[in-house]
Homo-oligomer: A and B are copies of this chain.
Amino acid sequence: MPEGPLILIADPEPRTLAMIFEPEAMARLKQLGTVRVHADGQHLSNQELDAALARAAIVIGQIDLPAERLAGMGKLKAIFNVEGNFLPNIDYGWCFQHGIHVLNTSPVYATSVAETALGMALDLCREITSTHEAFRSKSEKWGLESNGGSFLLTGTKVGIVGLGDLGSALRRMLMPFRCEVRVFDPWLSERRVREQDCIPSDLDDVFRLSRVVFLFASSTSENQGSIGKRELDLMQRGSVLLVMSRAGIIDFESLEASVRSGHVRAGIDVFPVEPLSRDSALRHLEGVILSSHRSGGMPESFLEIGRLVVADSELILRGLPPQACKRAERETVARMRSRPVSKS
């Protein structure tokens, strides 16, 4: 006979249990109650699943939870999305009204994405990869002569579009470089921007005044394609752009043209269509570093998912509010436009 609250792991795909729960995290989870698993081929029957849902205090995964189903889940306290986005699988209104936390684990990617973003930025500022490619073709220049197009990141003016978990992690890594940092984030108050030692700015100023711009914005119903030729042309020639998250906010045709003309140099980790077409002209451009949507998806990041779920489950089952995961907010959840990923 199971004891304690029921914790149901249901449809965590594309994550597998092994990917997100290291043994210690799973052991801590099991100390919290009875863990039932409907995943990784270990499927419950419909009847078993219905019974588990009816008793579940915690649901981990992206199982469909429309109002009709939620109405029968009298013990439910929290739902964890472990894919990283707030997807339309849940009736959020019902949850808000009934005090059920809907949480996702997107903060786990922050360190990993920020590291890559900084690495690509340093690479483009200092022309590391392009020099290396010149060695491959025996055409490299040496010393001062090779640095004509390079500039120091230290002391440079930087822009960040989107100062959420990812942008904040990058901001901290920039500290030793003593950059003046402008931020455009329409979902943040100026106070929050200033608290992170940044200057609140509009989008145009971010592009006009920064030599290095990082794009970290979530896709929302409002920002699709909001960065195009006009914004790129505001940058000074030879500037650097990092396209980290989400491809939807930038017009890729304009981006490609701007790189081709030498106006900007770009590091790109996300694309409108993935995998990138074998015929894409981006593959042959100078002034670009290409990355295959891999900045966040480190094994370490996925193991953090389990740790966040356990930390917040412990609090919730002790009658306290969650602290580690990101909460769905009544005001913003409906504006999120991320497609679910089909593959880790």
User: A-side interface residues toward B, CB under 8 Å?
Assistant: 96-99, 111-112, 115-116, 118-120, 122-123, 125-126, 128-129, 131-136, 138, 140-144, 146-147, 150-154, 172-173, 175-177, 187-192, 274-276, 278, 283-284, 289-295, 297-300, 302, 307-308, 311-312, 314-315, 319-321, 323-324, 329-332, 341, 343-344
- Of the A-B pairs whose beta carbons lie under 8 Å apart in the complex, a sample of 13, sorted by A's number, is A112-B152, A123-B129, A128-B291, A131-B290, A135-B276, A140-B290, A143-B297, A143-B341, A146-B294, A146-B297, A189-B314, A189-B323, A320-B332
Q: Are B132 and A275 touching (Cβ within 8 A)? A: no
**A188 nearest CB neighbor, chain B only:** B323
Q: Are A300 and B144 touching (Cβ within 8 A)? A: no
Q: Are B144 and A302 touching (Cβ within 8 A)? A: yes
Whole-angstrom CA separation of A173 from B176 in the bound complex: 5
Whole-angstrom CA separation of A324 from B140 in the bound complex: 34
A111 contact set on B, CB distance < 8 A: 152, 154
Q: Classify the secondary structure of A's interface with B.
A: helix
Whole-angstrom CA separation of A299 from B111 in the bound complex: 32
**A142 nearest CB neighbor, chain B only:** B292
Q: Are A119 and B126 touching (Cβ within 8 A)? A: yes
Whole-angstrom CA separation of A189 from B323 in the bound complex: 7
A297 contact set on B, CB distance < 8 A: 143-144, 146-147
Whole-angstrom CA separation of A233 from B133 in the bound complex: 28
**A308 nearest CB neighbor, chain B only:** B191
**A150 nearest CB neighbor, chain B only:** B298
A143 contact set on B, CB distance < 8 A: 292-294, 297, 341, 343-344
Contact of A176 among B97, B175, B290 (CB under 8 A): B175
Whole-angstrom CA separation of A152 from B191 in the bound complex: 19
Contact of A119 among B123, B133, B140 (CB under 8 A): B123
Q: Are B97 and A140 touching (Cβ within 8 A)? A: no
A85 to chain B, nearest CB (A): 15
A314 contact set on B, CB distance < 8 A: 189
A123 contact set on B, CB distance < 8 A: 119, 123, 128-129
- In the complex with contacts A128-B119, A323-B188, A140-B278 CB distance below 8 A: no
**A318 nearest CB neighbor, chain B only:** B186
Most B CB within 10 A of own CB, among A132, A284, A295? A132
- In the complex with contacts A172-B176, A320-B331, A132-B129 CB distance below 8 A: yes
Contact of A319 among B99, B153, B331 (CB under 8 A): B331
Contact of A154 among B115, B144, B176, B190 (CB under 8 A): B115
Whole-angstrom CA separation of A341 from B145 in the bound complex: 14
